[in-house]
Structure 1
Amino acid sequence: MTMANPTYPMTRQCPMSPPAQYADLRAHGPARVDLPDGGWAWLLTGYDDVRQAMNDPRFSSDDTKMGRARTELPPNENLNSFWRMDEPEHGRQRHMMMSEFTAKRIKEWRPRIQKLVDELLDRLQSLPRPLDLYAEFALALPTQVIAQLLGVPQQDYRTFAEQSRTILSLDKPEESWAAYYKMNDYLNRLIDEREREPQDDLISRLITERVLTGELPREDLLPMVRFILVSGYETTTSQIALSALTLMTNPDVRDRLIEDPDRVTAFVEESLRFWSVSQDNVLRVVDQDMTFSGAAMTTGDLVILAVPGANHDASAFPDPERFDLERGENRHVAFGFGTHLCAGASLARREVEIAVTSLLARLPGIRLACDIEDLTFRHKSLVYGLERLPVTW
């Protein structure tokens, strides 16, 4: 009798932990899982497997190499951002934007981020309570940071944030693609404006330094900007909200941070590992027939790298379901690994650090304004997170 493949994606039974099936699957190496579109994929849930696959050239990031069509994509749609490219083109395009994310640039951004945080907390303290910390703080900060970086006008912040969330949803594909096309139309208009009148922002610099010099084709600029915009705020938003939830549900951790604010770096790294918000969006395609971790893989096979599974692998992180501020070296893969390591990782870390430190300094008594069982988590999304976070103090 042949056992049926598990169905993917899998839902977190406990909102604080990855799907329970990951632990069972991890013991047997790569597993075949059935997908909603009728196809199947390999699922990697072990830390060593995921980390190796992230940096193994035999696994391609180009999903057009799949041995079957991606039925959830519109016909002839090319999602050719550098995130979905292999070397050397991936590295060439990634290099074009890395000047915005160097240690020097992040240091320059720190006062601007702190100013935004202070302004948001000033407003927060003037609002009636309880209030939604997700909307008023966790969403507002990364939205403004990435919008200012790219040069998105302030009046458009809310629009692009709503479209980005819809794009990342797995619940209603038709709505996701409608938002995707609206985002493309908006960004094309913005790029046209920056071509006519360059400003001090990333889009303008990419146009003047890369497109006009012939280094970057004009048609590749849109997917690059779209990827930075969508990915640059959504994951950080979720991470800030979930980090705040951690403080409110772990008083010992909160008290330790109040006593020793220098522990905030360790807190952020553990929060990145613990929550692993990039839950369903790291895909690879087998680029050559091979045996990987005992599994016979064929060219064109789709492979899903389960970041939450890897970051909760007890062989790499003892007692992984415990939030441990003293974990020490925390080699999580929340930002990926190797050549595809998230370009904006340093910026995201600084945003979360500043948000957490300032929140505790200004509102040390902040607490949930509802039972934790009443919180709604976003399971059907490429990025895990909360819908709302009611708080008071």
Structure 2
Amino acid sequence: MANPAYPMARQCPMAPPPAYTTLRGQGPTKVDLPDGDWAWLLTSYDDVRQAMNDPRFSSDDTKMSRARTQLPPNENLNSFWRMDEPEHGRLRHMMMTEFTAHRIKEWRPRIQALVDELLDRLETLPRPVDLYSEFALALPTQVIAQLLGVPQKDYRQFAQQSRTILSLDRPEESWAAYYQMNDYLNRLMEEREREPADDLISRLIVDRVKTGELDREELLPMVRFILVSGYETTTSQIALSALTLMTNPEVRRQLIEEPERITAFVEESLRFWSVSQDNVLRVVDQDMEFSGATMKVGELVVLAVPAANHDERAFPDPERFDLDRGDNRHVAFGFGTHLCAGASLARREVEIAITSLLARFPEMRLAVGVDELTFRQKSLVYGLENLPVTW
């Protein structure tokens, strides 16, 4: 019997592919990939969480038998996210100094000021307004641009390049965008080498590259990863969280009456939407038995984050958006050593964005039906193309 085809399509935009529910009871499952090869697919919460932190599963791209669709042939991400220990820990530590609790606290007023400025502008625009481009996209891109030191005039340019790189159905365009972004970032880093500023790129150059801790060749993939991951997932999360408020009146009522529940809302939104839909890969690093499956060295493994976060054994009634889940141990940001370094910053951005949006526009509603919205299915990051709203 033929293996199921992967990636799997969502039948409802508000839920992961229904095939995950069927496959979950079968344990690790072989699935056929578009390139004619196959991979193991993990769909249960326990399997995905364990594999995220099991050293027998490697994150190293160079050990994989095929390149990722988003990369030109013979290219490798060379990002710490796609490395194993000890290199992963060495490079991650250098970046984590920018994402400590103290740093995030310092950024909070700047994020709030950006949000207020964007909401002020929303009030002046003719309705309906595209909340996606004018708010959900604009906020994270400006935050990450300020953090890295990317000129504000360029943020929409790199946002478009990032989205193209992450697409699953346009490889030639993805490769072109990949090279364009590399060229842009190399020029920016050369500028910071000549004239350091108060930004992350400058600090990495001065504190790490010039001291010999970080090779110049290692800096580009690190900055590129921060740039792409630092805005794309947060943009989708803000837009989909806003959509939740406009399609779930009870949740909106609860947040208006009890604004202190915003933390629970953010965590449940992260679990419910699980925007990192097809981008968590591992390769088997030693022959082993895992959850009833015999896995061999070199075999590719896909960790289905949406499937794990909708496992009914870990999250009862998973298709219900529930602010009372309590200990919401989702894996939207990963788990273990590869837990997303920017998770705290992303949480704060979503929290501030949604709290401020609800306070300013408590009656905001969709200007079109949900069935008229366009969702990005063929992308490593799930999300919306637009979000027309009025009030």
Would you call these one fold, judging by a TM-score over 0.5? Answer: yes
Gaps of 5+ in 1: none
Q: 2:322 aligns with which of 324, 330, 349?
A: 324
Q: 1:133 aligns with which of 118, 131, 134?
A: 131
Gaps of 5+ in 2: none
The residue correspondences of 1:212-223 to structure 2 (distance < 5 A) are 212-223=210-221
Q: Do 1:37 and 1:71's aligned partners in 2 also have CA atoms closer than 8 Å? A: no
Task: Give the structure 2 partner of residue 184 of structure 1.
Answer: 182
Q: Do 1:143 and 1:157's aligned partners in 2 also have CA atoms closer than 8 Å? A: yes
Give me the CA root mean square deviation: 0.8
Matches of 1:132 and 1:112 in 2, distance apart? 23
Change over 3 Å in CA distance of 1:98–1:247 after alignment to 2: same
Number of residue equivalences: 390
Task: Give the structure 1 partner of residue 66 of structure 2.
Answer: 69
Matches of 1:18 and 1:32 in 2, distance apart? 19
Task: Give the structure 2 partner of residue 123 of structure 1.
Answer: 121
User: Is 1:391 aligned with 2:389?
Assistant: yes
Matches of 2:79 and 2:186 in 1, distance apart? 15
Q: Do 2:140 and 2:234's aligned partners in 1 also have CA atoms closer than 8 Å? A: yes
Q: In structure 2, the residue corresponding to 1:101 is in which secondary structure?
A: coil
Q: Do 2:270 and 2:332's aligned partners in 1 also have CA atoms closer than 8 Å? A: yes
For 2:341, give the aligned amino acid: A
Q: Do 2:61 and 2:76's aligned partners in 1 also have CA atoms closer than 8 Å? A: no
User: Is 1:283 aligned with 2:273?
Assistant: no
Q: In structure 2, the residue corresponding to 1:32 is in which secondary structure?
A: strand
Report deviation, 1:75. Answer: 3.3
Q: In structure 2, the residue corresponding to 1:284 is in which secondary structure?
A: strand
Greater mean alpha carbon deviation, residues 72-81 or residues 193-202: 72-81
For 2:269, give the aligned amino acid: S
Q: In structure 2, the residue corresponding to 1:198 is in which secondary structure?
A: coil
Report deviation, 1:71. Answer: 7.4
Report deviation, 1:79. Answer: 1.3
Report deviation, 1:70. Answer: 2.7
For 2:186, give the aligned amino acid: N
Task: Give the structure 2 partner of residue 364 of structure 1.
Answer: 362
User: Is 1:21 aligned with 2:14?
Assistant: no
Report deviation, 1:325. Answer: 0.8
Matches of 2:237 and 2:84 in 1, distance apart? 28
The residue correspondences of 1:79-94 to structure 2 (distance < 5 A) are 79-94=77-92
Matches of 1:341 and 1:113 in 2, distance apart? 23
Report deviation, 1:330. Answer: 0.1
Q: 1:10 aligns with which of 8, 11, 20?
A: 8
Q: Do 1:272 and 1:334's aligned partners in 2 also have CA atoms closer than 8 Å? A: yes
Q: In structure 1, the residue corresponding to 2:282 is in which secondary structure?
A: strand
Matches of 2:91 and 2:72 in 1, distance apart? 25
Q: In structure 1, the residue corresponding to 2:283 is in which secondary structure?
A: strand
CA deviation vs aligned residue, 1:5-32 (integer Å, no higher than 9, x gap) = 0000001100000000000110010000
Q: Do 2:262 and 2:351's aligned partners in 1 also have CA atoms closer than 8 Å? A: yes
For 2:125, give the aligned amino acid: L
Q: In structure 1, the residue corresponding to 2:97 is in which secondary structure?
A: helix
Report deviation, 1:230. Answer: 0.3
The residue correspondences of 1:347-358 to structure 2 (distance < 5 A) are 347-358=345-356
Report deviation, 1:78. Answer: 2.2
Q: In structure 2, the residue corresponding to 1:100 is in which secondary structure?
A: coil
CA deviation vs aligned residue, 1:80-122 (integer Å, no higher than 9, x gap) = 0101100010000000011111001100000000000000000
CA deviation vs aligned residue, 1:239-296 (integer Å, no higher than 9, x gap) = 0000000000001100110111100000000000000000000000000000100000
For 2:343, give the aligned amino acid: A
Report deviation, 1:46. Answer: 0.3
Matches of 1:342 and 1:317 in 2, distance apart? 21
Report deviation, 1:155. Answer: 1.1
Report deviation, 1:74. Answer: 2.7
Q: In structure 2, the residue corresponding to 1:256 is in which secondary structure?
A: helix
Task: Give the structure 2 partner of residue 242 of structure 1.
Answer: 240
For 1:90, give the aligned amino acid: H
User: Is 1:30 aligned with 2:28?
Assistant: yes
Greater mean alpha carbon deviation, residues 71-80 or residues 282-291: 71-80
Report deviation, 1:154. Answer: 1.0
Q: 1:378 aligns with which of 370, 376, 379?
A: 376
Matches of 2:227 and 2:192 in 1, distance apart? 16
For 1:206, give the aligned amino acid: L
Paired-residue identity, %: 83
Q: 2:45 aligns with which of 47, 50, 56?
A: 47
CA deviation vs aligned residue, 1:317-355 (integer Å, no higher than 9, x gap) = 000000001111100000000000000000000000000
